[in-house]
Amino acid sequence: MSFVTATDIFQSYGQRPILERVNVAVDEGEFISIVGASGCGKSTFLRLLLAQERPTRGEIRVAGAEPAVEPGLDRGVVFQRYSVFPHMTVRENIVAGESFRMPWGRFFGPRRRAANERADEVLARIGLSHVADQYPATLSGGMQQRLAIGQALAAKPRILLLDEPFGALDPGTRLSMHEFLTELRAETRMTVFMVTHDLEEGFKLGDRVLVFDKERWDPQEPNAYGATITYDFDARDGGMPFQRLLDQFPALAAQARQ
């Protein structure tokens, strides 16, 4: 049984179909990159995964549970912008990852101190200790996105959804963010969906790369058909998953030599 399953997803806004017949199954711990041209529905698919929207037809189940009707604790998200709260300091933003589920959205007394200490550990790990008491607006774009990822992970979601998280960053910062994300993933083994328009980034980070595109195309009516998953690449080992197959299975290698 797969961890996340999308079955026969159709999504249309009014008369205009965006997605059609999307079927995909993802195992726990996989890193899925979603790529495609602008307007091909990849962000729509992410919003469906997030349960920010519900599909016109079909359903998305996580761990076999009923399809979600609204975003919740099991799905963390990082958007390209507006992912941190500008009126809270960096530390408060991390604490919010744990405290927003409380009745009043905050901790009191000893729990508050404990949460602050945990937040400081998180900040040390994501390299933001020196700015713990500053407001996000004073941070660079890369630091804000690191904070956003740290905040999302503080809530301990089962799936992490990233919507072009590094799209607004300069190339150097983007590379260091790739390393940062790879390290975090090695620690948490979380299921990740990342929408990106950067193919290289998608193949570098992802275990699988899903390509969204329109299968049918009507030149007179470009909006007549929706997009679906046209390719599902295995992107492990730099896109060549079977290159070292013989190393993994020595018996097979012995047979091959004979």
Q: At what angle do helices 109-125 and 141-154 cross, to 10 degrees?
A: 130
State the Cα angle at 125 between 72 and 29, rounded to 5°: 50
Closer CB to other proteins, residue 115 or residue 229? 115
CB of 42 to other proteins, least distance (A): 16
Q: Is 157 a binder of other proteins (CB under 8 A)?
A: yes
With CB under 8 A as the contact rule, the residue among 105, 110, 172, 238 that binds other proteins is 105
Q: From residue 27 to residue 66, what is the string marking binding to other proteins with x (rule CB under 8 A)? A: -----------------------x-x--------------
CB 23 within 8 A of CB 230: no
* 82: contact with other proteins by CB under 8 A: yes
Unique residue bearing structure tokens 């690191």? 146
- Please tell me the distance from the alpha carbon of residue 203 to that of residue 34, in angstroms, as a whole number: 10
Of positions 8, 29, 72, 254, contacts other proteins by CB under 8 A: 72
130 CB-contact burial (10 Å; exposed 0-12 / middle 13-18 / buried 19+): exposed
Name the one range near other proteins by CB under 8 A: 22-30, 84-92, 120-128, 190-198: 84-92
Q: How far apart are CA 183 and CA 177, in angstroms?
A: 10
For residue 97, state whether it binds other proteins (rule: CB under 8 A): yes
Q: From the CB of residue 65, how many other CB atoms can be counted at a distance below 10 Å?
A: 9
Residues that bind other proteins (CB under 8 A): 50, 52, 70-73, 75-77, 79, 81-88, 96-97, 100-106, 134-135, 137-138, 140, 148, 151-152, 155, 157
